[in-house]
Each structure stands twice: as structure tokens, then as C-alpha cells.
Structure 1
Amino acid sequence: MSIYLDSLKKRLLSYRELAEKTFAQLNDEQIHWQPAGDPNSIYIIVKHMSGNMLSRFTDFLTTDGEKPWRKRDAEFEDNEPEATKADMTAIWNKGWDCLLQTLDSLTDADLSKIIHIRTEPLIVIDALNRQLGHYPYHVGQIVYLGKIMKAGNWQSLSIPKGQSQQFNDQKAAGK
């Protein structure tokens, strides 16, 4: 695998981990919670991300990334309010499995090929960069919703407030 593909996979997996650390802090009800104004719940975001991954990365090099079987609008409906975190995680993993299998199959030579997303021609590396922008955008939404719901009980996913110097000192000391 190329340096680029290794880097891309590492970045994507780091965002996956942030979302999964958020999921771990929530219960079945919280994954369906939506703040006022009709924004998406975590469950809806996960359905959308998985649908996008399955559509984009199934037959990645040979068919348009917007598959005829994808029902994108339905991804934004919470028509399964009884769905559990386990159900949501299965949806999540299905998308990630497809994405990661495709990434693992790509070669350096594939990076300059042309693929299509909604009939738009894209160089493979550009299509991958497009997804590298899309998925962290939604992971940020997931983390933000989790943080709002957990309020004072939120377990920081990075350096907690007021602990930057302590973190830097530990890194410098090799801990």
C-alpha cells in the first residue's frame, strides 16, 4: 500500500475511533436524541455515513459512486426508534468494512484512475480526499451531540480542558 493510502487509512480510522468512543458513552435512547430545530440524531448520521460508504466503495473503480439502490433520503429518517446501539453499530460496521476492504485492495496505480460520483469524473485520489472531508464532518457532529447529551459527565476524547501543559510535559518525557 502506498504512503498516501496508509496515511488516509490512519486518518479515517482515527475519526472512526472518535465516533466509537462517543457511542460508548451513550445509551439506546441517546442515539436517537435530536436537539430542537430538527437536526440529525447520531443514529441518523450513522445511517447516512454507512449508506454513503456502501454506495461509494462498492465496486469503487468500476461503477458510479452513487448506486441506483441507495436510498439517500431515507438515511435521514429515524423510522426505527426502537433500534439499539447494537443495531446502530452493525450498520456502522457494515459501511466501514466496505470502505476498508476497498482501501486495502487499491494500489498506487489506481490512484490516478478516473471514477465517477453522480456522473462527475474524479481522479481516485480526489474522490478519496472528498470522503476524507465528508466523514470527519459527520464524526464532529456525532461527538458534539454526545458532548451535549453527556454535559458534565462527558469523558474527553482528546486533551481535557486545562490539561494541555500536563499532556505536553508527559509527551516530552516519553510517557
Structure 2
Amino acid sequence: MPVSDLETVKKQFEYYKSLGEKTFAQLKDEDLFYEHNEHSNSIAVTVNHLSGNMLSRWTNFLTTDGEKEWRNRDREFESIIKDREQLLEAWNKGWDCVFTALDSVNEANYDTTVYIRNQAHSIMDAALRQLAHYAYHIGQIVYVGRMLTEDWSSLSIPKGGSAGFNQTKFSKGKHGGHFTDDIK
């Protein structure tokens, strides 16, 4: 697999990042801290976990295990983030780490074996593992946000909008665009 395939993965990371940000933009500050019950996580706690995971997995990812000694995963599930500003700071710090790491991959280092919790991965396998993890949690963020917002603006095809979406999509002809460009 060539290093250029990582660009496709990077676009998917960007897509999921945008879903989180579009959700945050639709929420009141207090919604970011809503917990359904004592066993659920607020959006802020989920962001704290994502940021901690991103920093651990992607800092020096070519040379050190993705589970850093300094990471305190259990603390990521505590209510540490106190306001929207802190939430966005943690969010952006994590994503900056992801994209900086992906941008460091080139033909010379693409075949490097990387480790997550002492398990060997190709760079592509590690990236796909993290993509699935982030999509899972961002889906949670979007779902909670949708439940809390009466005037929600759909981030994909709204209910009842599939026929119109497909008509537009297929009117472009074959290969009418990249999936993430079409779902906004």
C-alpha cells in the first residue's frame, strides 16, 4: 500500500473532526456537560478522552508505543473540562497531534512498524484502528447533541431527504464526487 493511501484516511479524520465541530456549534454551553445518568459520559468527558487518546497514540508514534507511560486513561473519564473554551482547546490539541503525525509519514518511514499497547501495527493499520475509535466516539457526541437540540440541523441526509439527495448525486453522472464532500 503506498503512502498516498494515508491521504484518504486523513480525509476521513477531517470529516469526523468536522462532524464534532458542527455538533458543538449547535449546542448551548450547558449541553456539552449533560450526562444522562451516572454511567454515561458528557460530550466534554468524551472530548477529554479523545484528546488523551490522540495525544498518547500520535505523539512520537513512529518511535514509541501509542500507550504512553504518562497517559492516565482513567482520568480522561472525569469531568476535567469546565467550559467550551477548554473543550475546544483539548479537541484541537488532540487533532493537531493526529494531523502532525500523519503529515510526518513519507516513503522512507511508511514501512515502520508502530506499536499500540505492545501490539505491532503497520502505519495504515494503526491509523484505521484510530479512525474507527474516533468515529465511534464522535458518533456518540453527535447522537447526544441531536437529542439535546430541538432545532437540529442535520449533518448528513435529513430524514425524508434520501430521494432528493440521490437525485442530486446521480444527476452528476458516474463518480460524482467524494463521499465526504457530498454529506455535509
Compute the TM-score of the two structures, normalised by the length of structure 1: 0.91
Matched, 1:167 2:168: no
Aligned residue in 2 for 1:56: 57
Aligned mates of 1:96, 1:79 — CA distance in 2:
18
Conserved? CA contact 2:3–2:110, under 8 Å:
no
1:38-77 correspondence runs (5 A): 38-77=39-78
RMSD of equivalent CA atoms: 1.7
More helix by share: 1
Off by >4 Å, runs of 4+ in structure 1: none
Aligned residue in 1 for 2:132: 133
Q: How far does the alpha carbon of each residue in 1:86-133 deviate from its partner, in whole angstroms, 9 at most, with x for none?
A: 210010000000110110110144333211111222222211111011
For structure 2, the residue ranges without an aligned partner over 5 or more in a row are 173-181
For structure 1, the residue ranges without an aligned partner over 5 or more in a row are none
Work out which of the residue numbers 144, 147, 152 in structure 2 matches 1:154. Answer: 152
**Across the two proteins, how many residue pairs are aligned to each other?**
172
Give how far 1:172 is off.
3.5
Matched, 1:26 2:27: yes
Identity of aligned residues (%): 48
Q: How far does the alpha carbon of each residue in 1:141-162 deviate from its partner, in whole angstroms, 9 at most, with x for none?
A: 0000001111x31111011111
Q: How far does the alpha carbon of each residue in 1:2-54 deviate from its partner, in whole angstroms, 9 at most, with x for none?
A: 33111000011100111110000112111010112521110011000011110
Q: How far does the alpha carbon of each residue in 1:51-74 deviate from its partner, in whole angstroms, 9 at most, with x for none?
A: 111011111100111111111100
Compute the TM-score of the two structures, normalised by the length of structure 2: 0.87
